[in-house]
A = this chain, B = another copy of it.
C-alpha cells in the first residue's frame, strides 16, 4: 500500500489522463520547448503511435487536437509539420479590424520609435519579469491615406535581445518575433475600452484632444502561457471596427 499504490491523491489526476491526452501533451511540450521547432516535420503516424505506445486511432485523436489549436498543419501525402506563424495566420488570428464595406483592414506602418527602458512595477508583474529591462516600441499605422492606429508595445529585453538591430521592423510583428527571436505568440487577451485621445494620440491620429478612441490593452502569450508582449493600441474607429465573432 506504500510503493505499489502509485495512485496517490497528488497524481490521481495525472494517472487518470487518457492516453490521447497524454500523447497530445507530450507533443505540445516538444513544440513548446523547441525540440520540434516551427516548420519541423513530425514522424509519420505509425512511428508516433509506436513511440507513445498507443494505437493509430488514439494517436490521431491527439494530433487532431493539436491541429484544431493551430499548432500543427497536416496534409495528405505530405505529412505533419509544426505550424509557422505566417503573416496570413497572424493577421487572421490577431488583427480584428474590418471596414464598413466588410473588408479586412491591414494598416501600413507610418512611423516607429524604439527605446530601452525600465519596466514599471505593473509591467514587471504583467510580464512576469525577473529583470526589469524592456523595450518600448511605439508605432503609428495608417490605412486608406490616413493614420488609424497608435500602438505602444512593451517587450522584455531578455526575450528580444537585439531588437534594435532589426529596424525598421516589419509590419507583421508576430511572425518576426518567431523567426528572429524564437518567441511564438499563440494566444492573446484584449481588454477593450473607449478612451479620450491624449495629446500624443491626438497629434498622431489627427483628431482633437479628447476625441473618442478605441483602446485595446493586450497581453500576448506563448505556448507555455508565458507573457511575451504587452501592447496598448489606440484605434481611430472612423469607417473601421474591431470585429469579434462570438459563439456557443
Contacts and interface: CB of A to CB of B under 8 A. Distances in A.
Contacts of A71: 248
Given A212-B212, A213-B212, A241-B217, A248 B83 contact: yes
Given A69-B247, A248-B71, A192 B242 contact: yes
Contacts of A186: 247-248
Given A194-B194, A195-B212, A93 B187 contact: no
Given A194-B212, A212-B196, A212-B213, A187 B94 contact: no
Q: Which of the listed residues A83, A187, A194, A217 has the most CB atoms from chain B within 10 Å of its own CB? A: A194
A212 B236 CA distance: 12
B187 A214 contact: no
Interface in A172-212: 186-196, 210-212
B217 A214 contact: no
A241 B191 contact: yes
Nearest to A95: B246
Q: How large is the interface on A (under 10, 10 to 19, 20 to 34, 35 or more residues)?
A: 35 or more
A115 interface: no
Nearest to A215: B194
Interface in A221-248: 235, 237, 240-248
A43 interface: no
Interface in A49-71: 57, 69-71
Contacts of A190: 243-244, 246
Contact of A248 (B93, B212, B213, B235): B93
A153 to B, nearest CB: 16
Nearest to A92: B248
Contacts of A245: 187-189
5 contacts: A93-B247, A190-B243, A191-B241, A191-B242, A192-B241
Please name the 5 residue pairs, one residue from A and one from B, whose CB atoms are nearest each other, closest first: A70-B248, A212-B212, A193-B237, A191-B241, A194-B212
